Structure 1
Amino acid sequence: MAKYIAQIIVVGAQVVGRAFARAIKQEIEASQEAAKRMGNGKTRTERLANHKLGLSLDEAKQILDVSNLDKEEILKRYDHLFKVNDKSTGCGSFYLQSKIVRAKERLDLELNSQGKDKEPQKETDDTSQAKT
């Protein structure tokens, strides 16, 4: 009788051990996949923006269906999609509207960061011309 109980304990421990090892392996793979996704951002600012708004730049472009960062095109697509998905029209969705707003915020953030990169160059050009 004790022999059978010992066998059951050993087999049970093996089953639990294998399940635990499989769970650890899956967790490591998921962690590596998440690290790859977070590492796709080229700069720290981009990774922070993706984390803050929950959208990558590519996802935001896909939502608003824009190919480049043109402020007028983004605003035009945003206005159209926001109005089409307005709940008061009867066929809209608040969820889709919120996705559209987040996409526009992400693209605006990218436009602002590009604008900040360009502004210091203009200021230095203006100051060098004023001194001469």
Structure 2
Amino acid sequence: MVDAGKNGGSAFRGADALSRQTGMTMEEACQILNIKKNDLNPEQVTRNYEHLFKVNDTSAGGSFYLQSKVVRAKERIELELAEKDSSKEKS
């Protein structure tokens, strides 16, 4: 997580709980996986994830850092989808 300055505040202060928990906002996760936030289709998330994970494979000359960001973006979106599903079940 990024430090917001000498006061020790988090860069995610005021952000939702999932952003604070994962260290990534939904906007960032959607940008990484090239998905529109209002069009969260689990199949599209998986397709984009698999493609980006493969093209960033270090054995193929890719970047471990970028591959890690792709993994974290997928996790963030999956948490968001799970939270939406659980809130629908409670209704």
Q: What's the Cα RMSD here?
A: 2.1
- Tell which has more relative contact order, 1 or 2 (C-alpha 8 A, sep 6+): 2
Q: Aligned equivalents of 1:117 and 1:51: distance in 2?
A: 19
Q: Aligned equivalents of 2:19 and 2:63: distance in 1?
A: 24
Q: Aligned equivalents of 2:45 and 2:33: distance in 1?
A: 7
Other-structure match for 1:80: 51
Query: 1:55, CA displacement in angstroms?
Result: 0.3
Superposition pairs for residues 61-72 of structure 1, below 5 Å? 61-67=30-36, 68-72=39-43
Please, which runs of 5 or more residues in structure 2 have no aligned partner? none
Superposition pairs for residues 1-132 of structure 1, below 5 Å? 38-39=13-14, 41=15, 46-47=16-17, 49-67=18-36, 68-89=39-60, 91-121=61-91
Q: Percent identity?
A: 45
Q: Aligned equivalents of 1:38 and 1:104: distance in 2?
A: 22
Q: Aligned equivalents of 2:34 and 2:19: distance in 1?
A: 18
Query: 1:27, CA displacement in angstroms?
Result: 6.0
1:66 is paired with a residue of what secondary structure?
A: coil
Q: Aligned equivalents of 1:100 and 1:106: distance in 2?
A: 10
User: How many residues are treated as equivalent by the alignment?
Assistant: 85
Please, which runs of 5 or more residues in structure 1 have no aligned partner? 1-25, 122-132
Query: 1:95, CA displacement in angstroms?
Result: 0.6
Query: 1:97, CA displacement in angstroms?
Result: 0.7
Flag the 1:94–1:27 CA change in 2: closer, same or farther, 3 A.
closer
Q: Aligned equivalents of 1:85 and 1:97: distance in 2?
A: 5
